[in-house]
């Protein structure tokens, strides 16, 4: 029994990279996730019956597999901390981030049996399954680096958001005052002006509303230039964050291994040189 638990644990734990069976299981679950996403995307479209049935069966299999996986994880999670009380470990595991994702991805299927009305938000919850893709070990490190950059530069990025917010707010009020008389139906309130400014500053420009007066156009042009600058700041901050981490990683690498990675300036390939 304990032996079976270990084998199941090794099969389903997130950071498994070495076993063939685990890799096959990984591939199977990734396929299910992708099929699920496609299913969500098109389940509102007019589809031929056989496709509908195919996606319905996929959904059934997904729910069964994911439920089974969730139960097995809950069962085997006691393996890491054998000295603690199983119930305590299991409850702690249930409230971990990844277990919550797993639960949220199967819950929308079971809820209609428990609660009569099916809320629209349930469809979004099924999308949670995509988060499983992040469980693949190779991407967890990269995500940690990205998260670290954002954590470090948090205050600078929030400051940029503040600058952007002020720019949007001031421009919205001004564009409303300037364009109101020319387009009373499109600039009903400051909130409408804000919609124009947001679609302008992010350079979307749907074309549903746009300035027609000369001062409105001048204002939009100035907002655009200032907005482009405001959006270049976070880009620069994030770049600096990645450069910082890459420098730090290189430095700590140097101390560790005696092999100094270098790039040949001619061919761009790495030169491996052993420092004796």
C-alpha closest to that of 234 among 166, 134, 185, 162: 162
Q: Among residues 58 and 156, whose Cβ is nearest to a copy of itself? A: 156
- What's the angle, vertex CA 145, arms to CA 139 and CA 146, rounded to 5? 90
Residue 8 beta carbon to a copy of itself: minimum distance, rounded to whole angstroms: 26
Residue 213 beta carbon to a copy of itself: minimum distance, rounded to whole angstroms: 11
Asked if 194 is part of the footprint of a copy of itself (rule: CB under 8 A), the reply reads yes
**Stretch touching a copy of itself by CB under 8 A, among 23-31, 76-84, 85-93, 248-256:** 248-256
Q: Which of 30, 69, 169, 215 binds a copy of itself (CB under 8 A)?
A: 169
Q: Among residues 20 and 269, whose Cβ is nearest to a copy of itself? A: 269
**Do 123 and 144 touch, CB atoms closer than 8 A?**
no
C-alpha closest to that of 32 among 68, 54, 50, 59: 59
Alpha-helical (H) ranges within 13-48 are 20-42
What part of residues 49-108 is at the interface with a copy of itself (CB under 8 A)?
none
C-alpha torsion 195→201→202→203, nearest 10: 100
Rounded Cα distance between 208 and 201, Å, is 15
Q: Among residues 74 and 107, whose Cβ is nearest to a copy of itself? A: 107
Q: Among residues 64 and 147, whose Cβ is nearest to a copy of itself? A: 147
Q: Among residues 97 and 138, whose Cβ is nearest to a copy of itself? A: 138
Asked if 34 is part of the footprint of a copy of itself (rule: CB under 8 A), the reply reads no
Strand-pair partners of 274 = 259
Asked if 199 is part of the footprint of a copy of itself (rule: CB under 8 A), the reply reads yes
Rounded Cα distance between 42 and 60, Å, is 17
C-alpha closest to that of 242 among 113, 150, 105, 161: 150
Residue 116 beta carbon to a copy of itself: minimum distance, rounded to whole angstroms: 19
What part of residues 121-160 is at the interface with a copy of itself (CB under 8 A)?
123-124, 127, 130-131, 133-134, 138-139, 141-149, 155-156, 158-160
DSSP per position, 186-202: T-SSHHHHHHHHHHHHT
Residue 199 beta carbon to a copy of itself: minimum distance, rounded to whole angstroms: 7
Residue 218 beta carbon to a copy of itself: minimum distance, rounded to whole angstroms: 9
């Amino acid at each position: 029994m304990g032996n079976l638990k270990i084998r199941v644990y090794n099969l389903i734990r997130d950071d498994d990279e070495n076993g063939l069976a685990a890799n096959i299981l990984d591939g199977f679950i990734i396929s299910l996730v992708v099929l699920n996403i496609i299913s969500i995307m098109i389940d509102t479209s007019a589809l031929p019956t056989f496709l509908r049935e195919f996606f319905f069966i996929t959904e059934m299999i997904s729910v069964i597999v994911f439920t089974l996986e969730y139960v097995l994880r809950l069962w085997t999670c006691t393996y890491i901390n054998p000295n603690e009380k199983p119930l305590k470990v299991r409850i702690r595991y249930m409230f971990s981030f990844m277990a919550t994702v797993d639960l949220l991805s199967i819950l929308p299927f079971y809820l209609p049996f428990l609660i009569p009305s099916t809320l629209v938000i349930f469809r979004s919850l099924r999308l949670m399954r995509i988060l499983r893709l992040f469980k693949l070990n190779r991407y967890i490190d990269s995500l940690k680096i990205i998260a670290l950059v954002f954590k470090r530069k948090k205050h600078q990025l929030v400051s940029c958001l503040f600058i952007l917010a002020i720019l949007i707010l001031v421009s919205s009020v001004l564009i409303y005052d300037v364009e109101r008389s020319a387009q009373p139906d499109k600039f009903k309130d400051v909130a409408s002006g804000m919609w124009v400014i947001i679609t302008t500053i992010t350079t979307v420009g749907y074309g549903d509303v746009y300035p027609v007066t000369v001062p409105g156009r001048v204002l939009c042009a100035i907002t655009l230039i200032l907005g482009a600058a405001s959006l270049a700041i976070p880009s620069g901050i994030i770049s600096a964050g990645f450069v910082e981490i890459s420098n730090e990683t290189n430095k700590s690498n140097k101390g560790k291994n005696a092999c100094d990675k270098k790039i040949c300036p001619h061919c761009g390939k790495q030169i491996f040189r052993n420092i004796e």
